[in-house]
């Protein structure tokens, strides 16, 4: 893919014949002087270099690899419950060596089924698509793309990973409890989650879920304040907010959403812990277990839902916005065109961020909330279609008549746009309270959010990994394997979730262990088998990626400095940047990050570090006038 790739570190592709005009740019610093080598060559013990590292690039890789391990676990759990759903009459005896007493007389234990869906949701939403996606790329790209040596506080950044690690250990350990992990759904609604005696999963499993989540929130806050502060204070000279790549805008707003919404989940979790362990009644009232009335009076389970979804809704944007940012970047780079509507893209990200805080109750249309309140939330929810539409049309307009290079990253970016449209359209249906009353808690909802924020966030993640892999590991991933991975995944996702819409419209409820008791649903048994086969195949297709990933780290083709001919700052660093990122002075920035195929320029991209004095023939009228 390396076309026209310069080996000079600070090459300016658009140098004109009269390029030497006037004075040399002040900050046009040649690299490799060695005066800042202390950032690169201190001999560190491997423990501090690879394990307790404070280098943002190393921490990013730690987040990525931990996230990948979680994704494998989360995917395996889904394969297990898809086996149950596809073949409810089949025997699971062959899984007994792994699942032990969760398989009884060849049948999966129904309690364990609930634990499977709960843990699948928790793992995918929080551990993979929040920590694994945002943790990886916010860490990796923010300092590199704004032009900083590292995060504002490397130490807090390291703590952020290790709190995530601790949280992971607790959650992972809960999978092996005698009574099973949490089983009240990833939304852990009380009273099911609040009463340890309710189901086996509400016991120790739930306690560990809450402990793990508290640690996770600490990790998110440590990371979030770091990302935001770094973007505000550590941008290099010339990197104004309107010259930031869209990735950075997305990470910046994502971090703000996290700072404002995770504390509310923390509040809810703390109140829930008190209800569970200390006899308070915040979420409990009028409950009978086995005919015995509980003493708790006056609380409200709906209150928990409000608190939960005040986090829960922004959380889906915390998951999707980093993917949106990376997709914008990958699309523009590989279409060799400026992103269409740069400022509109920023505006729509801000719009989505603001709206994400005022739509939470659309998850609660059927919980007994005042219907008038429901209509307010419906109105606000449907407005989100506007900034989302702006983004989709801008991505399409960026592709329009582009000189498209179909790299693996580009395929996943285009796939992201496709999934986001398909999933987004059903969002308009579910956002309507009247329709949602029919659809809620059916597989239609499952299909909707798996397309619009589950699969598409995964596609954003894959696009990011394929695109920035050369910067992470100094080697290229295999493109052929990337194509195979893309087509199997893309086809797989649609084959799984398209039929799910039909099943959902027919009224299949979520989180049911088996429908064999309902005659009306028997005609869909084949469709469920089909979904299960597609889901399991799509899951195993991910091992192509994992093999490609680990093989390429050690054996991949060596990367050049700027393999995608990209304009942003991270590609001005050495192939494998040391701690401190730039061996010499940090380059200054002169232009926006999307000068691709600029008319009048010989090369089809002009890096952000090239001053306008070197690009006289392609300067726009207002750029020509700037020195006057």
Partner 1 sequence: MAHDVSLQSTGTATLDAPRTGTWDGGNEPFKASYGKLMMWFFLLSDAFTFAAFLTTYGLIRHKHAVFTGEAKDFVFNTAYWPIPDHVFNAFPGLHGVNLPLAFVALMTMILIFSSVTMVLAVEAGHRMDKADVQKWLLWTILFGATFISSQAWEWSHFIHGTEAGTTMADGTVFHGANLAANQYGPVLFADLFFFITGFHGTHVFSGVCLLIWCFIATTNGTFHKRGHYEMIEKIGLYWHFVDLVWVFVFTFFYLV
CB 109 within 8 A of CB 513: no
> In whole angstroms, what is the distance from residue 52 CA to residue 65 CA?
15
- The least CB distance from residue 21 to partner 1, in Å, is 8
Paired residues of 108 in beta bridges:
103
CB 92 within 8 A of CB 107: yes
- The least CB distance from residue 497 to partner 1, in Å, is 34
- The least CB distance from residue 228 to partner 1, in Å, is 6
- The least CB distance from residue 231 to partner 1, in Å, is 10
> Considering beta carbons, is residue 152 or 246 the nearer one to partner 1?
152
> In whole angstroms, what is the distance from residue 143 CA to residue 507 CA?
48
- The least CB distance from residue 53 to partner 1, in Å, is 20
- State both tokens at 145: 């793309």
Quote helix, strand, coil % in the chain, to nearest 5: 65, 0, 35
- The least CB distance from residue 36 to partner 1, in Å, is 17
> Considering beta carbons, is residue 233 or 403 the nearer one to partner 1?
233
> Considering beta carbons, is residue 232 or 520 the nearer one to partner 1?
232
> Considering beta carbons, is residue 302 or 397 the nearer one to partner 1?
302
Other C-beta atoms within 10 Å of 156: how many?
Answer: 16
- The least CB distance from residue 370 to partner 1, in Å, is 13
Alpha-carbon distances, residue 98 vs 83, 95, 102, 242, 535 (angstroms):
15, 6, 9, 54, 21
H or E element at residue 108 = strand 107-108
- The least CB distance from residue 615 to partner 1, in Å, is 9
> Considering beta carbons, is residue 252 or 513 the nearer one to partner 1?
252
> In whole angstroms, what is the distance from residue 497 CA to residue 447 CA?
5
Angle between helices 301-335 and 246-277 (to 10 degrees): 160
CB 54 within 8 A of CB 150: yes
- The least CB distance from residue 211 to partner 1, in Å, is 17
Q: Note the Cα 543 to chain centre separation in Å.
A: 19
CA within 13 Å, CB half, 12:
25
> In whole angstroms, what is the distance from residue 526 CA to residue 506 CA?
14
Q: Note the Cα 618 to chain centre separation in Å.
A: 37
> Considering beta carbons, is residue 261 or 528 the nearer one to partner 1?
261
SS3 240: coil
> What is the Cα Rg of the chain in Å?
26
- State both tokens at 371: 């219907």
CA within 13 Å, CB half, 617:
14
> Considering beta carbons, is residue 230 or 528 the nearer one to partner 1?
230
> Considering beta carbons, is residue 285 or 441 the nearer one to partner 1?
285
> In whole angstroms, what is the distance from residue 285 CA to residue 77 CA?
34
- The least CB distance from residue 341 to partner 1, in Å, is 21
H or E element at residue 288 = strand 288-289
- The least CB distance from residue 447 to partner 1, in Å, is 32
- For CA atoms 378, 383, 384, 388, the dihedral sign is positive
> Considering beta carbons, is residue 228 or 430 the nearer one to partner 1?
228
> Considering beta carbons, is residue 109 or 157 the nearer one to partner 1?
157
Residue 444 makes CB contacts below 8 A (sequence gap 6+) with 426, 429, 430, 500, 501, 503, 504, 505
Residues that bind partner 1 (CB under 8 A): 22-28, 146-147, 152-153, 156, 221, 224-226, 228-230, 232-241, 243, 259-264, 266-268, 270-271, 274, 278-282, 295-300, 303, 306-307, 310, 588-590, 611-614, 619, 623, 626-628
Token pair 């499993």 is found at 205
- The least CB distance from residue 297 to partner 1, in Å, is 6
Q: Which of 120, 48, 53, 44 is nearest to 82 (CA)?
A: 120
> Considering beta carbons, is residue 278 or 288 the nearer one to partner 1?
278
> Considering beta carbons, is residue 66 or 226 the nearer one to partner 1?
226
- The least CB distance from residue 268 to partner 1, in Å, is 7
> In whole angstroms, what is the distance from residue 167 CA to residue 35 CA?
41
> In whole angstroms, what is the distance from residue 117 CA to residue 122 CA?
9
> Considering beta carbons, is residue 219 or 560 the nearer one to partner 1?
219
> In whole angstroms, what is the distance from residue 100 CA to residue 415 CA?
39
């Amino acid at each position: 893919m390396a076309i026209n790739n310069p080996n000079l570190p600070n090459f300016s592709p658009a140098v004109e014949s009269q390029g030497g005009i006037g004075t040399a740019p002040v900050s046009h610093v040649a690299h490799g002087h060695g005066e800042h080598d202390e950032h690169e060559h201190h001999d560190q013990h491997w423990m501090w270099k690879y394990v307790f590292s404070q280098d943002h690039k190393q921490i990013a890789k730690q987040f990525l690899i931990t996230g990948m391990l979680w994704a494998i676990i989360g995917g395996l759990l889904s394969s297990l419950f898809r086996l149950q759903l596809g073949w409810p009459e089949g025997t699971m005896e062959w899984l007994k060596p792994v699942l032990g007493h969760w398989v009884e007389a060849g049948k999966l234990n129904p309690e364990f089924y609930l634990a499977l869906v709960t843990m699948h949701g928790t793992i995918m939403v929080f551990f993979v698509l929040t920590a694994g996606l945002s943790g990886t790329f916010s860490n990796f790209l923010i300092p590199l793309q704004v032009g900083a040596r590292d995060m504002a506080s490397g130490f807090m950044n390291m703590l952020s990973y290790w709190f995530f690690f601790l949280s992971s250990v607790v959650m992972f350990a809960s999978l092996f409890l005698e009574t099973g992990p949490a089983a009240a759904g990833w939304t852990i609604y009380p009273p099911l989650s609040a009463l340890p005696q309710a189901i086996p999963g509400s016991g120790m499993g739930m306690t560990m879920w809450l402990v793990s989540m508290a640690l996770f929130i600490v990790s998110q806050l440590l990371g979030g304040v770091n990302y935001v502060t770094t973007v505000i204070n550590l941008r290099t000279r010339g990197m104004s907010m309107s010259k930031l790549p869209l990735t950075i805008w997305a990470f910046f707003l994502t971090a703000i959403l996290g700072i404002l919404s995770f504390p509310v989940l923390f509040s809810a979790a703390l109140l829930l812990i008190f209800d569970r362990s200390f006899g308070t009644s915040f979420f409990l009232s009028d409950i009978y277990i086995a005919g015995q009335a509980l003493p708790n009076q006056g609380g409200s389970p709906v209150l928990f839902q409000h608190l939960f979804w005040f986090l829960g809704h922004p959380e889906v944007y915390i998951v999707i916005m980093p993917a949106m940012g990376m997709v914008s970047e990958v699309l523009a780079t590989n279409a060799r065109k400026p992103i269409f509507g740069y400022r509109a893209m920023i505006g729509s990200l801000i719009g989505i961020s603001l709206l994400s805080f005022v739509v939470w109750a659309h998850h609660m249309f059927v919980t007994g909330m005042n219907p008038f309140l429901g209509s307010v939330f419906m109105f606000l929810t449907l407005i989100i279609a506007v900034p989302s539409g702006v983004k989709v049309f801008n991505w399409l307009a960026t592709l329009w008549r582009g000189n498209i290079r179909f790299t693996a990253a580009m395929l996943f970016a285009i796939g992201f746009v496709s999934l986001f449209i398909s999933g987004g359209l059903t969002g308009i249906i579910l956002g309507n309270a009247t329709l949602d009353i029919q659809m809620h808690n059916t597989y239609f909802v499952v299909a909707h959010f798996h397309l619009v924020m589950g699969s598409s966030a995964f596609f954003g993640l894959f696009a990011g990994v394929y695109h920035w892999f050369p910067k992470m590991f100094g080697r290229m991933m295999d493109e052929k394997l990337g194509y195979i991975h893309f087509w199997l995944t893309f086809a797989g996702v649609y084959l799984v979730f398209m039929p799910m819409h039909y099943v959902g419209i027919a009224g299949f409820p979520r989180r049911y262990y088996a429908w064999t008791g309902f005659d009306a649903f028997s005609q869909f048994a084949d469709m469920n088998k089909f979904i299960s086969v597609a889901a399991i195949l799509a899951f195993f297709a991910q091992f192509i990626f994992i093999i490609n990933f680990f093989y390429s780290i050690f054996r991949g083709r060596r990367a050049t400095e700027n393999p995608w001919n990209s304009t942003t700052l991270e590609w001005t660093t050495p192939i494998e940047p040391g701690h401190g990122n730039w061996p010499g002075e940090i380059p200054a920035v002169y232009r926006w990050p999307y000068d691709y195929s600029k008319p009048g320029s010989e090369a089809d991209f002009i890096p952000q570090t090239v001053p306008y004095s070197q690009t006289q023939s392609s300067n726009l009228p207002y750029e020509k006038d700037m020195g006057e």
